[in-house]
Amino acid sequence: MDAFTRSLALMRRGMGRGRGLALSVALLLTGATAPVWADETCMSPFMPKITGQEDYVYVWTLGVDGMGDGSDKLVTVDVRPGSATYGQVIASASVGGRNEAHHGGLTDDRRYFWTSGLDTSRIFIFDVHTDPAHPKLDRTIDDFVQATGGVVGPHGAYALPGRMLMSGLSNAKDEGGRTALVEYTNDGRFLATHWMPTAEDPRGATVEGVADGYGYDQRVLPRKNVMLTSSFTGKANYMRDLGEVIKDPEAMKRFGQTVVLWDFHARQPKKVFNVPGAPLEIRWAWGPEHNHAFTTTALTSKIWLIYEDKDGEWKAKAVADIGNPSDIPLPVDISLSADDATLFVDTFMDGKVRVYDVRDPHSPKLILEKSIGRQVNMVSQSWDGKRVYFTTSLLANWDKKGADNDQFIKGYDWNGTELTERFAIDFTEKKLGRPHIMRFGAASLYTN
User: How many helical (H) and strand (E) elements, i.e. helices and strands, does the chain have?
Assistant: 5, 29
Q: How far is CA 420 from CA 3, 92, 410, in A?
A: 35, 27, 10
Q: Are 172 and 179 in contact (CB under 8 A)?
A: no
Strand-pairing partners, residue 251, are none
Q: Residue 182 and residue 195: Cα distance in Å, rounded? A: 8
Edge-to-edge strand ranges of the sheet holding 379-381: 379-381, 387-391, 408-414, 419-426
Our count of domains for the chain comes to: 1
pLDDT recorded at residue 445: 86
For the stretch 77-111, pLDDT in tens is 999 999 999 999 999 999 999 999 999 999 999 99
pLDDT in tens, 353-368: 999 999 999 999 999 9
Instruction: Give the pLDDT confidence score for residue 39 in this predicted structure.
Output: 57
Residue 170 forms beta bridges with which residues? 152
Q: Please state, as a whole number, how many other Cβ atoms lie within 10 Å of the Cβ of residue 368.
A: 17
Whole-prediction pTM value? 0.92
Could you tell me the CATH number of the domain that includes residue 35?
Answer: 2.130.10.10
334/346 Cα distance (integer angstroms): 6
pLDDT at 11: 43
The CA R_g of the chain, rounded to the nearest whole Å, is: 20
Find the domain containing 371 and state its range. 3-446
Tell me, what's the pLDDT at 13? 44
- Kindly list the distances between the CA atom of residue 318 and the CA atoms of 3, 212, 293, 329, in Å, as whole numbers in the listed order: 11, 19, 12, 17
Q: What angle do CA 219, 229, 325 make, to 5 degrees?
A: 105
- List of the chain residues with pLDDT < 70: 1-39, 448
Contact of 433 with 72, CB cutoff 8 Å: yes
At residue 33, the pLDDT reads 36
